[in-house]
Structure 1
């Protein structure tokens, strides 16, 4: 599945997304998103990422501007990639 400069991969529906970073200052590599079925896994991703030294972009929270159940966290990895974990389910 493709949406402009973004592509999603998955078995029944996209759960892994890759897209070019298009906002912010300076050059950034890619935006890579991993979908999960549990919000606790988004929290665990975030804790592990910052524990490993990733830069915090956005702490885990609901992003209603995407849809009411979009719960995601964003970090910048050492290579400059915007890495996201997201759950599309309500609590």
Structure 2
């Protein structure tokens, strides 16, 4: 896995996915988990109905949890962090909200130079990550 392209000293991120929706088995339980885990990354709950809840930065519903889709675990979603301390806070908040540790915060040089990430399994077994591509 390579890091993001760079132009001189400026990192350039190319995002090709507009949003992602994952299946969950218990909307209430998953809502509590994702509110806690994603708040340190600047996400908040943006909209909800009886079967789906969207999250994202203000005005951008980038991530959706849904009981309409199957809740089979095994999906991997990595959220970008702007700083290492956000990765640390994500991990701590996710564990406090019932997540299962799947990789404590730390450097992951096997992925790329400057890669700093943390992994947590959500209530349905999805591997949720926060990653900072700094130095």
**TM-score using structure 1 length:** 0.70
Task: Please give the residue correspondences for 1:2-81 in structure 2 after superposition, counting only pairs within 5 Å.
Answer: 13-14=14-15, 28-81=73-126
Q: CA deviation at 1:15?
A: 8.6
Aligned length: 71
Q: Which has the larger radius of gyration?
A: 2
Structure (1 or 2) with the greater helix fraction: 2
1: CA distance, partners of 2:132 / 2:103: 15
Segments of 4+ in structure 1 off by > 3 A? 15-18
Tell me, which stretches of 5 or more residues in structure 2 are unaligned?
1-12, 21-71
Q: CA RMSD in A?
A: 2.2
Structure (1 or 2) with the greater strand fraction: 1
Measured against aligned partners, the alpha-carbon deviations of 1:51-89 in whole angstroms (never above 9, x if no partner) come to 111000000000001112000000000011000000000
Tell me, which stretches of 5 or more residues in structure 1 are unaligned?
1-11, 19-26
**TM-score using structure 2 length:** 0.48
